[in-house]
Amino acid sequence: MSLKIFLIVFICCSVAITLGFSVWAFMMYQQNTQTGYLLAAIAAIGSGIGLIVYGSNFLKKMKKIL
């Protein structure tokens, strides 16, 4: 497996984990109404969006190189 494929798979898994964590944190916020869960959900969504942007920029850069 090439490094490019590994990084794409790793980024996709990271996005899935962060978005899954954000769903869990939001569900916990709905049950407990503690602001820590809401802040964790917002931070995880931001991290997931950041990973998506990073992944798309990585793919664009790899197309130029290869």
For residue 21, what pLDDT is reported? 97
For residue 48, what pLDDT is reported? 95
For residue 3, what pLDDT is reported? 83
Provide the angle, in degrees to the nearest 10, between the axes of the packed helices 3-32 and 35-65.
160
For residue 65, what pLDDT is reported? 76
DSSP string, 1-66: --HHHHHHHHHHHHHHHHHHHHHHHHHHHHHH--HHHHHHHHHHHHHHHHHHHHHHHHHHHHHHH-
Residues of the chain with pLDDT under 70: 1, 66
